[in-house]
């Protein structure tokens, strides 16, 4: 197995991204049209991670100084624990910093301990909770990371 390689997401990645999206976020999956729309925005930066030439993860950030908003990060379950999400997050944070953002926000499922630990390790702190953000009984934590 080759080392993971991160690159900019392109329109032709959408079918592979959709496979991951539907498996990781079955009840709240974005549509292909939503990904097309995100890629068309000048204030977005989306990346994919490939292993052996196959997309196994993706992430995106909206960069509107002074605030950036991480839109999504997803990794195929069989590739968890390999640092792929951490590397994608670092790429998104670099895009935010390059875009002169002094804070980065994100929402994460309140019961997603693995993702919360990733964000904690990257310097994010919980600033609020949104009840039923992902549906009934599925709260979100709003997390923020200020300047580096």
Whether 97 is a known active-site residue: answer no
Burial of 62 (0-12, 13-18, 19+ CB in 10 A): buried
Given 46, 58, 119, 134, which residue is catalytic? 119
Catalytic site includes residue 103: no
For strands 140-146 and 103-109, give the pairing. Answer: antiparallel
pLDDT at 145: 97
Two tokens at 16?
């592979």
Domains of the chain: 5-146 (3.40.630.30)
What does pTM read for this prediction? 0.92
Instruction: Encode pLDDT of 87-96 as tens digits.
Output: 999 999 999 9
The predicted structure's pLDDT at residue 4: 86
**Catalytic residue among 38, 46, 107, 134, which?**
107
pLDDT digits (tens, 9 = 90+) for 49-58: 999 999 999 9
Cα-to-chain-centroid distance, residue 81:
16
- CA 37, 62, 80, 57 torsion: positive or negative? positive
What whole-number percentage of the chain has pLDDT above 90? 85
27-61 pLDDT, tens digit per residue, is 889 999 999 999 999 999 999 999 999 999 999 99
The whole-number pLDDT of residue 57 equals: 97
**120 close to 145: Cβ distance less than 8 angstroms:** no
Average pLDDT over residues 69-86: 94
């Amino acid at each position: 197995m080759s080392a993971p390689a991160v690159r900019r997401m392109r329109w032709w990645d959408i079918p592979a991204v959709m496979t991951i999206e539907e498996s990781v976020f079955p009840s709240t999956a974005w549509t292909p049209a939503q990904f097309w729309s995100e890629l068309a925005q000048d204030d977005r930066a989306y990346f994919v991670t490939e292993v052996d030439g196959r997309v196994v993860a993706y992430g995106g950030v909206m960069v509107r100084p002074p605030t950036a908003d991480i839109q999504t990060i997803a990794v195929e379950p069989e590739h968890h624990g390999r640092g792929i999400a951490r590397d994608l997050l670092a790429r998104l944070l670099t895009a935010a910093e390059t875009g002169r953002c002094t804070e980065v926000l994100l929402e994460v499922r309140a019961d997603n301990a693995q993702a919360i630990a990733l964000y904690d390790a990257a310097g994010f702190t919980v600033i609020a909770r949104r009840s039923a953000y992902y549906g009934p009984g599925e709260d979100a934590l709003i997390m923020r990371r200020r300047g580096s």
